[in-house]
Amino acid sequence: MINTDVVIIGAGPTGLFCAHQLGIIGLKCEIIDNLDKIGGQCIELYPDKPIYDIPAISECTGEELTNNLIEQIKPFNLNFHLGERVEEIKNENQKWIIKTSKATQFNSPNIVIAGGVGSFEPRKFFIQECEKFEGKSVFYSVKDKTIFQSKKVAIFGGGNSALDWAIELSNSSKVILVHRRDEFRGDQSSVDKVKKLEKNGKLEIFTYYQLTSVKGNESLENIEIKHNEGKIKSLKVDYVLGFFGLIMQLGPIFNWGLNLDKKHIPVNTENFETNQKGIFAIGDICTYPGKLKLILSGFHEGALAARGCFKYARPDEKLRFEFTTTSKIVQSRLGVKTND
């Protein structure tokens, strides 16, 4: 059982900044995320895309924003529990007992839900046989590109992820790009690169095709793809990558006794607390009059939610508002050296 002041569900920008705000007021937190990496939507959906509405930063990518937020919270030595989903919560003696999919348990007076619009799960192939090879020969993300070196890789999808990995892996692998349409949805510059690589014999492209079969024993041996007009091709491949986007699921949140409004959680705007005492919701998943789904709005929500957590974590103390520019206590928590 891990005892902490706050459990944050979601390691995206909003959750990370909330952790920072908790740290400067002296509260400890643990962060859980269903993804296997820190950054939430910024990392999964647009790591290389420019963002233009972060205050005082004219332009940054999703990855750069994530890295800066990680750097900002380093003084607090936070623990991340990645690749875990919160499966169950229950209230015992005014504390929340939180259990994850990996049987990790937490005891905390506060929960901050910063999970975007739910946990991210990849859209998978409809072919049931693919399950047998998942994590071995069939993947929906790339964690270690070196395993594909000098191998034959079939990539399915028409968005930026499929195009970018087709371009990247073509440097050291035999790549086959398969898409069910003739037009790709990714950036035109990436589309142009892929077509140039095809022209130069660096990769193959099959459009109007979809996966219909995967075959092999311990490892994948070949696949079959079917054209819209019925023609079937058999291809010998070592790996299959599927990039069809992400499904955002609320999952077990439905069972937590929250007053859900469709797939969103209503909150009060004083401290972003939900109808459940000690449970707060920030970021895209929360709703209130005038809500804007912007990262900067999530930062504001996280700052107020952090202060809302204080009264449950330190019921016998009064939180005094202090500016980081003048507070020696806050500066000490941030690791800033002072003359005092």
Predicted local confidence at residue 23, as pLDDT: 96
pLDDT per residue, tens digit, the chain (340 aa), is 999 999 999 999 999 999 999 999 999 999 999 888 899 878 776 677 788 999 999 999 889 999 999 999 999 999 999 989 999 999 998 899 999 999 999 999 999 999 776 666 778 999 999 999 998 999 988 878 899 999 999 999 999 889 999 999 999 999 999 999 999 998 899 999 999 999 999 999 999 999 999 999 888 999 999 999 999 999 999 999 999 987 766 678 888 999 988 889 999 999 999 999 999 999 999 999 999 999 999 999 999 999 999 999 999 999 988 888 888 888 888 888 766 5
The domain of 64 spans: 2-121+247-333
109 plus 24 within the same structural domain: yes
Task: Provide the CATH number for the domain around residue 160.
Answer: 3.50.50.60
Q: Does residue 339 form part of some domain?
A: no
Sort strands 286-287 and 174-179 into parallel, antiparallel or unpaired.
Answer: unpaired
In 3D space, the residue among 32, 25, 14 whose CA is nearest the CA of residue 78 turns out to be: 32
117 plus 251 within the same structural domain: yes
Q: CB of 62 within 8 A of CB of 48?
A: yes
Query: What is the C-alpha to C-alpha distance for residues 93 and 95, in angstroms, rounded to an integer?
Result: 5
Q: CB of 47 within 8 A of CB of 62?
A: yes
Residue 93 has which token pair? 């003696």
In 3D space, the residue among 280, 285, 282, 290 whose CA is nearest the CA of residue 263 turns out to be: 285
Number of domains in the chain: 2
92 plus 227 within the same structural domain: no
86 plus 160 within the same structural domain: no
253 plus 228 within the same structural domain: no
Final residue of a structural domain among 241, 269, 292: 241
Predicted local confidence at residue 29, as pLDDT: 97
Distance of alpha carbon 81 from the chain centroid: 13
Three-class DSSP labels, the chain: CEECCEEEECCCHHHHHHHHHHHHCCCCEEEEECCCCCCCHHHHCCCCCEECCECCECCEEHHHHHHHHHHHCHHHCCEEEECCCEEEEEEECCEEEEEECCCCEEEECEEEECCCCCEEEECCCCCCCHHHHECCCEECCCCCHHHHCCCEEEEECCCHHHHHHHHHHCCCCEEEEEECCCCCCCCHHHHHHHHHHHHCCCEEEEECEEEEEEEECCCEEEEEEEECCCCEEEEECCEEEECCCEEEECHHHHHCCCCCECCEEECCCCCCECCCCCEEECHHHEECCCCCCCHHHHHHHHHHHHHHHHHHHCCCCCCCCCCCCCCHHHHHHCCCCCCC
Q: CB of 210 within 8 A of CB of 225?
A: yes
Predicted local confidence at residue 249, as pLDDT: 67
Torsion angle (degrees, nearest 10) of CA 317, 277, 284, 105: 90
Instruction: Look up tokens 């930062």; give the residue.
Output: 299
7 plus 117 within the same structural domain: yes
Tell me the backbone φ, ψ of residue 286, rounded to 5 degrees: -95, 155
Q: Which amino acid is at 236?
A: K
Q: Does residue 59 form part of some domain?
A: yes
114 plus 139 within the same structural domain: no
96 plus 144 within the same structural domain: no
Q: Which residues neighbour 217 within 8 Å (Cβ) at sequence distance 6 or greater?
A: none
Query: What is the C-alpha to C-alpha distance for residues 159 and 84, in angstroms, rounded to an integer?
Result: 27
What region does 281 belong to: left with phi over 0, alpha with psi -120 to 50, or beta? beta
Give the number of other CB atoms < 10 A from CB of residue 91.
14
Predicted local confidence at residue 137, as pLDDT: 94
Final residue of a structural domain among 241, 262, 278: 241
Predicted local confidence at residue 250, as pLDDT: 66
